Amino acid sequence: MPNQGRRWFEQRKDFVGTARTAAPPKDESPDLWTRCKSCGEVLYNEALESNHRVCHLCGHHFRLDAISWLRMLCDEGTVTVHDENIGPVDALTFVDSKAYANRIAQSRNKTGRHDAFISLSAELDGIPIEIGSFDFRFMGGSMGSVVGELITRLYERAAERKVPAIVISASGGARMQEGVLSLMQMAKTCSALARLQDDAGMPYISLLTHPTTGGVAASFAMLGDIILAEPEALIGFAGPRVIRETIGEELPDGFQTSEYLLDHGMVDAIVPRTEMRAKLSLLLRQFLAMPSPVRALNETTPAQKEAPVAQPRQSNDDNR
């Protein structure tokens, strides 16, 4: 039998390669749709973003980035950014699969910021607050020396100004590349928080999003005067697999979800993201004994506006 060339399975590699080459570049075919992980509905991305990345059919909460959180909660034109030029250093010259210095550089290029926390002075529904949010894209929102310092400064500013503090947590815990330096931030932040709550007498609201774990969950995240959580958020110290292997027992269904923690008294309320701004405004006014604002029924609230955050005023905190 004459040689007819390579058989079909021997040519498969060339065929696959040709197909990949013929595919359009990713930037020329942007993703317009997202499939809901809960109900399977295909959602138009623009509509999903306008609903703060919550599925309008089943209420599934997709992850929301730090800037979008702050834009949703803060009144337009009231934002002052603090400490944004402070970044971490590789004090231990730590190397695992790659050098810590390289990880820092990669995260900076990816996010455009120096570390995993954003701290602001702003107003929420006309109420002056100090507010901050973790950026999970920066090394999983891990807490190192800089993140601990930024959170400590947030509490100190709130105590000095005698205004409430809000922290939005989304973190994998303490940053292992900084060793004991990162673990010290647990005590440091809690000490500053105690001064805010006891000495200044100002409320602290902790908002737990998916995921809030490790040293963050074991410190200031669970010390709020009010602890709110998003639906179905993962909240806990160690992961379920580690706990299961440590105690040698199977864990209950839904273990470490916000619903499980609510049933066992660990959080005060589960609030859907689309209702979070109104809930925070109500709680702050109750804490501060402020009257509720009177609005016309057809008035549009700042949370419903699709306007970008105003350009922030720069602070001089880097000189502290």
Average confidence (pLDDT) over 195-209? 97
| 312 has pLDDT over 90 | no
Q: Which residues contact 139 (CB under 8 A, 6 or more apart)?
A: 103, 104, 107, 116, 172, 175
Task: Enumerate the β-bridge partners of residue 121.
Answer: 80, 130
Looking at residue 292, what is its pLDDT? 78
Proportion of the chain above pLDDT 90, given as a percent = 78
Looking at residue 295, what is its pLDDT? 55
> What single-letter amino acid sits at 249?
E
Residue 1, classified by CB atoms within 10 Å of its CB into exposed (0-12), middle (13-18) or buried (19+), is: exposed
**pLDDT tens, residue by residue, 127-150:** 999 999 999 999 999 999 999 999
Whole-structure pTM value? 0.82
| 70 has pLDDT over 50 | yes
Architecture of domain 64-292+305-319: Alpha-Beta Complex (3.90)
Cα torsion through 54, 50, 138, 237, rounded to 10:
-20
Give the length of the chain: 320
Element (H, E) at 258: helix 258-263
Please tell me which residue, 308 or 317, carries the higher pLDDT value.
Answer: 317
**pLDDT tens, residue by residue, 252-281:** 988 999 999 999 999 999 999 999 999 999
Looking at residue 164, what is its pLDDT? 98
**pLDDT tens, residue by residue, 275-309:** 999 999 999 999 999 987 765 444 444 544 444 44
Q: For the chain, what are the domain ranges? A: 31-62, 64-292+305-319
**pLDDT tens, residue by residue, 74-85:** 999 999 999 999
Task: Enumerate the β-bridge partners of residue 128.
Answer: 123
* Average pLDDT across the chain, whole number: 87
| 14 has pLDDT over 70 | no
Average confidence (pLDDT) over 162-178? 97
The CA-based angle 166-314-303, given to 5 degrees, is: 45
